[in-house]
Structure 1
Amino acid sequence: MSGLDRAQADNLSGLRILVTGGAGFIGSHLVDTLLAQGAAEVRALDNLTNGNHENLVGQNANERFTLVVGDVRDDVVREKALHGIDIVYHLACLGVRHSLHDPIENHDVNARGTLLMLCSARAEGIRRFIYVSTSEVFGTAQYVPMDERHPTWPETVYGASKLAGEASSRAFFRTYGMDTVVVRPFNTYGPRSHFAGDSGEVLPRTIVRLLAGHRPVIFGDGQQTRDFMHVFDTVTALALLAQGSGLAGETLNLGSGAEVTMNALCAAVALAVERPDLLPVHDSARPGDVRRLLGDPTLMMSLTGFAPTVPFERGVAELVAWFRASAADNPDQVELMEDRNWVALEAV
């Protein structure tokens, strides 16, 4: 990206942007960032299955922000959300654990929902469609670091459905000349991250358990690795994709380029919580659990100038402080978690 392109990407003045899944963890932070960078209008489209109003409370009085409550599969809702929009960030989806007990709905929301969004965005004449995918499309690493050409062998229907969304996004670029960009965040963490129910993520779940005086739970031997990036860095990178040349049709990895084992994760949280005595409990390995992830973010960095800024240990310490403060308003956090092995609740 040239210096001029980078300057344009840092200034979103005049742009009207839609964020689907905008009341969720990453989506709400992206909304905040886009508004802070001067977007003329930001709309969030969310059915509030995983997202919630509390994530957007800071924008309640902002005249440049609108929340549209509804499903991306609803024709009327999509038309309302997309009218007059320049840029779309498509994050709305159902997660990996949900796909194990309801693969049909998971695929319908993630794959068909994306295709419907692409069709409607094309009809509306959107300037750019940014599809926010996931590192789960890769499955377990066959080599590291994993670049964009790494084979895609997803372990779950979630990963498969997100890969279908990628394929549709690239097809709209090749078939219709639509400006689409696919970006694959690896493992994003930070404030507002999910710990409850089947959308709960490993780092916030571990923090909640340790803060409550419970030992963390590791499924398997704990040598599984993930590539963690703080949500501040993730949304900073995503915001750079709104403008700039040389991005149309690209597929980009978005990770830190460093891997952390689950054993090291538990140790880092225990240190931040000041409870090194709470050693992990090891349970049987989970089905569909990816063994190793380590992304190669070189292409993303070269095209946008992006570089992560939040070290993992600092990010963990800050997230512990955030959960400690939020526990005062929600003292029953442990009871809301599902620390059990992934199981299919019904036959597929």
Structure 2
Amino acid sequence: MRILVTGGAGFIGSHLVDTLLARGAAEVRVLDNLTNGTRQNLAGQSANPRFTLVVGDVRDGVVREKALHGIDIVYHLACLGVRHSLHDPVENHEVNALGTLVMLQSARAEGIRRFIYVSTSEVFGTAQYAPMDERHPTWPETVYGGSKLAGEAYSRAYFRTYGMDTVVVRPFNTYGPRSHFEGDSGEVLPRTIVRLLAGERPVIFGDGEQTRDFMHVSDTSAALALLAQGPGLAGETLNLGSGCEVTMNALCAAVAVAVGRPDLVPVHDIARPGDVRRLLGDPTLMASLTGFAQTVPFERGVAELVAWFEASGRENPDRLAQIEDRNWVALEAV
């Protein structure tokens, strides 16, 4: 099959590209404007004749037409993140919600076989019960979560209204090599690793008992790849989580052990508004429909990610200066 991955130069997207090509896709085409993604993430495929990078914005109709021509399957990951939504909610909506709608419209016009919308667990907000199955209420805490939920609704509407084969998948908290530590796209685990490797104490907002459901990116990309062909998936909405929750306090402790600096205990700042308190996914439906099961336990994944950051530090010695460990209140006020 010929596959398009929007946002394919990003963290999860680039790993998905690697997985799809390794599994024999006839072509994998990436559409990315390189706002968050990088060419470096795709460097391993640059000489692969089955790989193509189209640089452009999903909101540009000419670019969409070029990227979609001849494509069988679309994975739509292009988006702007949660911190971005705090300081520019309108652009966040335009890329995440409107960008999904116009991608659906163009994909339908092109006659693609399946449209896989990669959403986020942030659509749920804080867990009202756990583990959270696909029917858990959706009460997003941020514009980012709201905009991704809009993309879900559009994807399901295209299935119901037009009979278009769409699948919605909600990854929980993915981590691993190439994960973002810098700027407003930085995530807690890589930020914590960078700080500890630099001899700095990690920062926790709130009491540290908020939880997340982590999955290694190799497992996330493997699960996503299964969605390209499986029968009985059209119109489905699937959670992609591990079924295990980790507190921020436990995360910092695990990283400190992996780095060999258990003396660097966290600094606690005030809690962030709109910060989800608890996330714990129920992976049952995903497993039953695709046979997927995760393979990388959290502690091993953290140790491997620490080793990756240690090895890659020579390429980027100023990582600590690139971290934005500011509370969302301060970020919003800027």
Give the TM-score normalised by the residue count of structure 1. Answer: 0.95
TM alignment of 1:24-35, pairs within 5 A: 24-35=10-21
Could you list the per-position Cα deviations for residues 291-325 of structure 1 after superposition, in whole angstroms to 9, with x for gaps in the alignment?
00000010000000000000000000000000001
TM alignment of 1:129-168, pairs within 5 A: 129-168=115-154
Contact 1:101 1:343 in 2 (8 A): no
TM alignment of 1:303-314, pairs within 5 A: 303-314=289-300
d(CA) in 1 for partners of 2:206, 2:199: 22
Q: Structure 2: which 5+ runs fail to align?
A: none
Deviation at 1:205, TM superposition (A): 0.1
Asked if 1:247 corresponds to 2:216, the answer is no
- Per the alignment, residue 71 of structure 1 pairs with 57
Contact 1:26 1:231 in 2 (8 A): yes
Could you list the per-position Cα deviations for residues 188-239 of structure 1 after superposition, in whole angstroms to 9, with x for gaps in the alignment?
0000000000000000000000000000000000000000000000000000
Deviation at 1:28, TM superposition (A): 0.2
Deviation at 1:244, TM superposition (A): 1.5
d(CA) in 2 for partners of 1:330, 1:251: 39
d(CA) in 1 for partners of 2:93, 2:247: 29
Contact 2:115 2:167 in 1 (8 A): yes
Contact 1:100 1:344 in 2 (8 A): no
Contact 2:213 2:244 in 1 (8 A): yes
TM alignment of 1:330-341, pairs within 5 A: 330-341=316-327
For residue 162 of structure 2, the aligned residue among 171, 176, 195 is 176
Asked if 1:297 corresponds to 2:283, the answer is yes
Deviation at 1:344, TM superposition (A): 6.8
Asked if 1:41 corresponds to 2:27, the answer is yes
d(CA) in 1 for partners of 2:330, 2:108: 37
For residue 109 of structure 2, the aligned residue among 110, 118, 123 is 123
d(CA) in 2 for partners of 1:316, 1:31: 23
Give the TM-score normalised by the residue count of structure 2. Answer: 0.99
Deviation at 1:329, TM superposition (A): 1.1
d(CA) in 1 for partners of 2:207, 2:36: 29
- Per the alignment, residue 195 of structure 1 pairs with 181
For residue 307 of structure 2, the aligned residue among 321, 326, 330 is 321
Q: Look up the SS of the partner of 1:343 in the other structure.
A: helix
d(CA) in 2 for partners of 1:136, 1:277: 32
- With over 3 angstroms needed to count, the CA separation of the structure-2 counterparts of 1:107 and 1:344, relative to structure 1, is farther
1:96 alignment partner AA? V
d(CA) in 1 for partners of 2:244, 2:168: 21
d(CA) in 1 for partners of 2:197, 2:249: 17
Q: Look up the SS of the partner of 2:75 in the other structure.
A: strand
1:171 alignment partner AA? A
For residue 284 of structure 1, the aligned residue among 263, 270, 295 is 270
Contact 1:144 1:295 in 2 (8 A): yes
Could you list the per-position Cα deviations for residues 228-280 of structure 1 after superposition, in whole angstroms to 9, with x for gaps in the alignment?
00000000000000002100000000000000000000000000000000000
Asked if 1:213 corresponds to 2:207, the answer is no
Asked if 1:103 corresponds to 2:89, the answer is yes
1:149 alignment partner AA? R
| Identical pairs, percent | 87
Deviation at 1:283, TM superposition (A): 0.3
TM alignment of 1:52-67, pairs within 5 A: 52-67=38-53
Q: Look up the SS of the partner of 1:249 in the other structure.
A: coil
Asked if 1:272 corresponds to 2:262, the answer is no
1:105 alignment partner AA? E
- With over 3 angstroms needed to count, the CA separation of the structure-2 counterparts of 1:240 and 1:251, relative to structure 1, is same
d(CA) in 2 for partners of 1:219, 1:325: 28
2:106 alignment partner AA? S
Deviation at 1:343, TM superposition (A): 3.0
1:32 alignment partner AA? D
d(CA) in 2 for partners of 1:130, 1:175: 17
Contact 1:22 1:31 in 2 (8 A): yes
Name the Cα RMSD after superposition: 1.0
TM alignment of 1:12-27, pairs within 5 A: 15-27=1-13
Aligned length: 334
d(CA) in 2 for partners of 1:44, 1:229: 23
Deviation at 1:345, TM superposition (A): 5.5
d(CA) in 2 for partners of 1:265, 1:56: 29
- Per the alignment, residue 3 of structure 1 pairs with none
2:298 alignment partner AA? F
Q: Look up the SS of the partner of 2:3 in the other structure.
A: strand
2:102 alignment partner AA? L
d(CA) in 2 for partners of 1:169, 1:114: 8
Q: Look up the SS of the partner of 1:328 in the other structure.
A: helix
- Per the alignment, residue 204 of structure 1 pairs with 190
Contact 1:156 1:288 in 2 (8 A): yes
